[in-house]
Amino acid sequence: MANYNDIIDNCKSTKGGIIEAFHALQEEFNYIPQEALTEAARAFGLSEAQAYGVATFYSYLSVEKRGKYIIRMCESAPCHVAGADAVIKAMEDYLGIKVGETTADGKFTLELCECIGQCQATPVISVNSKPIFNVTAQQIPEILGQYK
């Protein structure tokens, strides 16, 4: 596992470096730990409040600890019409958590997101940003079972 400082240092000379650093930190840890946020603020000459504002502005980034597998359900109108509510319920039932929560074993976090950009194949979920198309509630045990 990489060190916060190494990740941040690699982004210091990049345009938009703090955002790049936050993306790299999230790639490594699945969220931006408080210590890393503090270090990034110092490295980029920002207050912690400013760094926190950047980290929480983008919905893709998270300052809350999340599971190894981040499952996102598109909540756009096309997915909603195609049965997203049933898919969400099936995921909540299968994982034993509600949207916005992480399983006790730290494996799964369930989130809602705006359009994934695959409206021709609704409903759509993503697991760690990999889209899965035309999902039905009945497919959830098979889909998520691959990650157990």
pLDDT digits (tens, 9 = 90+) for 9-23: 999 888 889 999 999
Assigned token pair, 69: 């597998």
User: Hey, is 76 helix, strand or coil?
Assistant: coil
φ, ψ of residue 132 in degrees (nearest 5): -125, 125
Report the candidate in 128, 134, 119 with the shortest Cα–Cα distance to residue 146.
128
Could you tell me the two tokens for 66? 């999340």
Quick one: pLDDT band at residue 36, thresholds 50, 70, 90? very high
Place of tokens 């993503």: 126
* Sheet with 108-113: strands ordered across: 108-113, 69-74, 125-127, 130-132
Chain centroid to CA 48: how far? 22
User: Are residues 74 and 52 located together in one domain of the fold?
Assistant: no
pLDDT for residue 1: 56
Pairwise pLDDT comparison (58 vs 91), residue with the higher score = 91
Q: Give the integer Cα–Cα distance in Å for 132 and 121.
A: 9
**100 phi-psi bin (left φ>0, alpha ψ -120 to 50, beta other):** left
User: Based on the domain organization, do 83 and 127 belong to the same domain?
Assistant: yes
Calculate mean pLDDT across residues 22-47: 94
18 with 51, same domain: the answer is yes
Residues 85 and 129 both lie in one domain: yes
For position 100, which CATH number holds?
3.40.30.10
74 and 127 belong to one structural domain: yes
pLDDT of residue 104: 95
pTM score: 0.80
52 and 111 co-located in one domain: no
The domain of 42 spans 4-57
Q: Are residues 76 and 48 part of one domain?
A: no
Domain count for the chain, please give it: 2
Q: Are residues 40 and 13 in the same domain?
A: yes
Query: pLDDT higher for 89 or 118?
Result: 89
* pLDDT(2) > 80: no
Q: 115: pLDDT confidence band, cut at 50, 70 and 90? A: confident
pLDDT on residue 3: 87
Q: What does the DSSP 8-state code read for residue 59?
A: T
